[in-house]
A and B are shown apart, each in its own frame.
Chain A
Amino acid sequence: MRIRESSPTNPHGDFGSAPRSTDPNRRFAAEKAFSSVLVSTVREAVGNALGHNVLEILTAKGLLDDANNSKEFDRKLQSIFGNGAAVLERIVVKDLNRKLGIPYNSEAGLDYEKSLETAREVCFVESRLK
């Protein structure tokens, strides 16, 4: 098993090459934990950017139902906010990365789906190490 190496720019080491957990129960628990963090992060991002009235309206319209499906969530955000969707996604990713200790680069282009996948894997690795 590869020893986890970390650096200031990659504090969680080369998690990409760490073997995935084969324990389905552990994987399920980690997935659930990540889902919870992601949904709360999305809620905070929308609430902090546009206020709680807007958050409640979008929740009632089912936007948060797809928070865990990054592709569908991105599509819905685009339909509501147009170019503004990218700004909200950056706020989500920034906050999610901060919670998980992942560095965030504001200069780089944002791939929302990839960013969430990275965050998901970090969450799984962390849960395996506990």
Chain B
Amino acid sequence: MFRGEQAEMSGSEILSTLLGSEIRGDLLVLFHKNPGLIDTVDGVARRIGRTTVTVISELRELLELGVLRQKRIGNSEIVFLDRAKDRDLLQSVANHLKTVRIGGEK
């Protein structure tokens, strides 16, 4: 897994990525409730009651988005929240939602 570099995404695109699956939703909730969480992929999967196999591709999406980051500690790859990037991404989402009318009309 790697942290990819992203061209500037729109708020709508960021939202689609963040809420792209139930597992991604679970990961977001986990890291937002515990922003200081630092754990391996196995550890993160266990914390949300999933297997590593089901979590790994979803984690990759969030790593590529930049909301999560990855690092090597000893023999382990760990993941953790990039607080600054998370704030920026959520601000973009917030800015997008300000323009959306409930009911679908813009």
Instruction: Answer yes or no: A and B touching, Cβ < 8 Å.
Output: yes
Binding site for B on A (CB under 8 A): 45, 47-51, 53-54, 57-58, 61-63, 76, 79-84, 86-88, 90-91, 106
Interface size on B, residues (CB 8 A): 28
Binding site for A on B (CB under 8 A): 15-16, 18-22, 24-26, 28-29, 32-33, 49, 86-87, 90-91, 93-94, 97-98, 100-104
Which residues from B are CB-within-8-Å of A54? 90, 93-94, 97
Which residues from B are CB-within-8-Å of A58? 97
Partner of B18 from A50, A86, A106 at Cβ < 8 Å: A50
Given contacts A49-B32, A50-B93, A90-B25, contact A62 B19 (CB under 8 A): no
Partner of B25 from A51, A53, A57, A91 at Cβ < 8 Å: A91
Docked complex Cα distance between A53 and B11 (Å) = 14
Q: From DSSP, what is the main secondary structure of chain B's interface residues? A: helix
CB–CB B19/A51 < 8 A = no
Given contacts A57-B97, A80-B97, contact A48 B33 (CB under 8 A): yes
CB nearest to A58 among chain B residues:
B97
Given contacts A49-B29, A50-B93, A62-B102, contact A84 B15 (CB under 8 A): yes
